[in-house]
């Protein structure tokens, strides 16, 4: 599975201006709703419920908020590079500036987990993270996300 199977160029926010985790989730939910036709409120609620189970910040300035929606038919990703890092309750206490939202159908099971693992592997790669942080527009970010996985990984 390629990251580009999950995220389209129009689902990339190259400089999202937010000041808190809640605001980031609200903005991501609104953009995801525009692109999927789902309710932004429903998306936001699913993400909040997931965060209550434990933070989706995976360390190294990366967060992968995710959730499953009823009446949703495919995996959907949205990537945001935050203009300024924010506190996301990360276990390593590092502020987050790279956020990959993943939405899945309720019955996605293994596909959802494979997608999460793939995203986490990619974004925890320090070279990839550095390139994403240096990219200033959606096309440049998409190009980095579209890179084939490292053969050693």
What positions carry a catalytic annotation? 66
Spatial contact of 3 and 118, defined as CB atoms under 8 Å apart? yes
- Distance CA(54)–CA(131), nearest Å, equals 28
What is the SS3 assignment for 71-98?
CCCCCEEEEEEEEEEECCCCCCCCCEEE
Residue 137: DSSP 8-state: S
Tell me which residue has tokens 């605001």: 23
- Distance CA(63)–CA(129), nearest Å, equals 12
């Amino acid at each position: 599975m390629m990251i580009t199977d999950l995220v389209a160029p129009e689902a990339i926010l190259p400089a999202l201006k937010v000041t808190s985790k809640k605001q980031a989730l609200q903005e991501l939910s609104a953009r995801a709703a525009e692109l999927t036709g789902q309710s932004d409120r429903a998306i936001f609620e699913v993400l909040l419920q997931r965060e209550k189970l434990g933070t989706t910040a995976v360390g190294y300035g990366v967060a992968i908020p995710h959730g499953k929606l009823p009446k949703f038919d495919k995996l959907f990703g949205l990537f945001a590079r935050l203009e300024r890092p924010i506190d996301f309750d990360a276990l390593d206490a590092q502020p987050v500036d790279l956020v990959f939202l993943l939405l899945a159908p309720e019955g996605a099971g293994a596909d959802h987990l494979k997608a999460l693992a793939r995203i986490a592997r990619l974004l925890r790669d320090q070279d990839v993270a550095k390139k994403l942080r240096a990219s200033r527009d959606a096309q440049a970010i998409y190009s980095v996300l579209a890179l084939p996985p490292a053969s050693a990984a």
